[in-house]
C-alpha cells in the first residue's frame, strides 16, 4: 500500500480588511487580483492605495503591500 499526497497552496490572499475611515474597492482576493483603497472625506491615505495579490518566494499568496491607514487631513 502506497499513499501519495501533495500540498495545495491557497490561491487566495483573503480579504485584507478596511482601515478605520477607509473604503475598499474590490471583491476578488485571488492571485493576480488588485484592490484599491481610499479614505472618506477629511482623511488622507498613508500607504499604498493599490494592492495586488501575489505569490511570494515560499509559494504563499500574500498582498504585495500592507493595508494603508487613513489619517485626518490636519493630523
pLDDT digit of tens for each residue in the chain (75 aa)? Answer: 777 655 556 699 999 999 999 999 999 999 999 999 999 999 999 999 999 999 999 999 999 999 999 999 986
pLDDT of residue 9: 60
3-class SS string, the chain: CCCCCCCCCCCECCCCCCCCCEEEECCCCECCCEEEEEECCCEEEECCCEEEEEECCCCCEEECCCCCEEEECCC
Which CATH number is correct for 22-72, 1.10.1760.20, 3.40.640.10, 2.10.70.10, 3.90.420.10? 2.10.70.10
Please give the model's pTM, rounded to 2 decimal places. Answer: 0.83
Amino acid at each position: 500500500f502506497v499513499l501519495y499526497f501533495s500540498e495545495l497552496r491557497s490561491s487566495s490572499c483573503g480579504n485584507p480588511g478596511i482601515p478605520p475611515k477607509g473604503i475598499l474597492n474590490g471583491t476578488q482576493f485571488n492571485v493576480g487580483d488588485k484592490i484599491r483603497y481610499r479614505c472618506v472625506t477629511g482623511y488622507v491615505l498613508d500607504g499604498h492605495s493599490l494592492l495586488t495579490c501575489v505569490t511570494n518566494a515560499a509559494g504563499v499568496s500574500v498582498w504585495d503591500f500592507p493595508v494603508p491607514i487613513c489619517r485626518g487631513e490636519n493630523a
